[in-house]
């Protein structure tokens, strides 16, 4: 995460158009012949163009790189940055004989489980053992600027009921060990081995949030506050709420759609807070179940309506989510983009559906990876 995603955010009296946004995308580095992960992330980051090297990041797996946008207020600017960063990273990877792909989970295998040679990553490997050697998974993290931490905690409470829907819109990791897992987002399931990954708990205040994080660090559950990987968290460094439920999207337009919806959900939460409307409280086990259902089926079956406590057709719930956030989308001028993006998803399916269709049509995993690699850098 760079200091570029510091966005000043907006006080509660300002319009949602003032909300800043920044995106982090994680990518896999694959062998172009076998599809297996290749541990060359350090070399890829070093090979980035001078103007973009500072926006490249290493992760706990040496077969993945993260690219980070700057602060944006307009989605066309965000999209332009995303395309440029993807193409730069793909070019650096290609020069090293590897393929950069936007996939949520390792499709074939991870032959080298070693972590980058940095003190924090070595400490993570020592603390968490084989979990730190799990095959790489790649997410899309959306930051929305909210400098008031008390307000940010309230926003996180309000987002709880909609985050499974946001997760379902970006399922893009059906493959693992060369086979279909039956899940739209295997990444979501795989990450649950980490103790810091979970639906965001309900907090009464920023002090309550900070005490909980401190307790988890003192107990040894987490190495440091940065290992809080709740689905919506207060950034430990920057004045943002960070939404972490999404798989990285193969198509850049799906990334922009997810970012638009996340920002609109945050803006809608701010409106509800200002109006004194309370957030719905959901039992932790029900919340976890709703996220599992979203990871399992994506948009193809049902999602759990956490307001009603019942399963409903996925697209019915997506439509209600859209209706809820549409005033915020209208305010920022993003309504048409989201309408068109949701229509595209309804017609073509999520990333997992598209991967399965390619596999059914060709019968070859290589064809799936070829298609994903090509679409990763399309503008």
| CA separation for the pair 24, 6 (Å, rounded) | 13
| CA separation for the pair 363, 352 (Å, rounded) | 16
What pTM value is reported for the model?
Answer: 0.95
Q: Can you give the pLDDT at residue 3? A: 35
Q: Which long-range contacts (CB under 8 A, 24 or more apart) does 283-289 make?
A: 284/199, 284/201, 287/160, 287/199, 288/198, 288/199
Q: Can you give the pLDDT at residue 4? A: 37
Q: Per DSSP, what are the bridge partners of residue 28?
A: 64, 101
| CA separation for the pair 154, 278 (Å, rounded) | 9
| CA separation for the pair 250, 346 (Å, rounded) | 16
Sketch the domain layout of the chain as residue ranges: 3-376
| CA separation for the pair 93, 83 (Å, rounded) | 15
- The dihedral over CA atoms of 60, 61, 63, 65, expressed in degrees to the nearest 10, equals -20
| CA separation for the pair 181, 327 (Å, rounded) | 38
Q: Checking phi first, is residue 54 left (phi over 0); if not, alpha (psi -120 to 50) or beta?
A: alpha
Question: What CATH class has 3-376?
Answer: alpha beta
User: Which whole-number Å values give the CA distances from 198 to 131, 244, 285, 347, in the listed order?
Assistant: 16, 10, 11, 31
241 and 144 Cβ atoms separated by less than 8 Å:
yes
Q: What is the DSSP string of 129-190?
A: GGGGGSPPB-EEEEEEE---HHHHHHHHHHHTTTHHHHHHHT--B-EETTEE-S-SBHHHHH
Length of the chain: 379
| CA separation for the pair 254, 83 (Å, rounded) | 12
Can you give the pLDDT of all 379 residues of the chain as single tens digits? 333 333 333 333 334 446 999 999 999 999 999 999 999 999 999 999 998 999 999 999 999 999 999 999 999 999 999 999 999 999 999 999 999 999 999 999 999 999 999 999 999 999 999 999 999 999 999 999 999 999 999 999 999 999 999 999 999 999 999 999 999 999 999 999 999 999 999 999 999 999 999 999 999 999 999 999 999 999 888 899 999 999 999 999 999 999 999 999 999 999 999 999 999 999 999 999 999 999 999 999 999 999 999 999 999 999 999 999 999 999 999 999 999 999 999 999 999 999 999 999 999 999 999 999 999 999 8
Q: Per DSSP, what are the bridge partners of residue 67?
A: 25, 56
Query: Rounded to an integer, what is the distance from CA 347 to the centroid of its chain?
Result: 22
CA dihedral sign of residues 295, 233, 39, 194: negative
Neighbours of 345 (CB within 10 A): 22
């Amino acid at each position: 995460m760079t200091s570029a995603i510091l966005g000043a955010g907006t006080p509660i009296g300002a319009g949602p158009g003032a909300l800043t946004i920044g995106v982090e995308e994680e990518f896999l580095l694959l062998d172009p012949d076998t599809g297996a992960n290749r541990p060359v992330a350090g070399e890829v980051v070093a090979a980035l163009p001078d103007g973009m090297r500072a926006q490249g990041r290493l992760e706990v797996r040496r077969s993945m790189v993260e690219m980070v946008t700057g602060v944006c207020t307009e989605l066309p600017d965000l999209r332009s940055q995303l395309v440029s960063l993807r193409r730069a990273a793909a070019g650096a990877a290609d020069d090293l004989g590897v393929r950069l792909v936007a996939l949520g989970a390792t499709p074939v295998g991870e032959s080298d489980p070693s972590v980058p040679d940095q003190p924090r990553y070595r400490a993570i490997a020592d603390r968490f053992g084989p979990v730190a050697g799990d095959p790489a998974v790649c997410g899309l993290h959306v930051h929305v600027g909210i400098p008031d931490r008390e307000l940010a905690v309230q926003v996180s409470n309000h987002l709880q009921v909609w985050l499974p829907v946001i997760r379902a819109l970006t399922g893009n990791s059906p493959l693992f060990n060369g086979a279909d897992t039956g899940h739209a987002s295997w990444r979501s399931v795989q990450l649950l081995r980490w103790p810091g990954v979970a639906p965001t708990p309900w907090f009464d205040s920023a002090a309550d949030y900070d005490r909980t994080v401190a307790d988890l660090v003192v107990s040894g559950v987490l190495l440091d506050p940065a290992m809080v990987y709740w689905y919506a968290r207060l950034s430990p460094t920057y004045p943002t709420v960070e939404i972490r439920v999404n798989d990285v999207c193969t198509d850049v337009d799906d990334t922009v759609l997810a970012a638009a919806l996340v920002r609109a959900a945050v803006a809608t939460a701010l409106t509800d807070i200002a109006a004194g409307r309370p957030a719905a409280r959901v039992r932790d086990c029900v919340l976890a179940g709703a996220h599992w259902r979203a990871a399992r089926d994506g948009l193809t079956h049902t999602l759990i309506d956490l307001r009603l406590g019942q399963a409903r057709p996925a697209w019915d719930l997506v439509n209600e989510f859209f209706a809820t956030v549409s005033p915020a989308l209208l305010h920022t001028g993003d309504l048409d983009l989201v309408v068109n993006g949701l229509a595209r998803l309804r017609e073509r399916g999520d990333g997992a559906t598209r991967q399965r269709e390619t596999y059914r049509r060709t019968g070859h995993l290589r064809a799936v990876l070829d298609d994903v690699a090509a679409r990763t850098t399309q503008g």
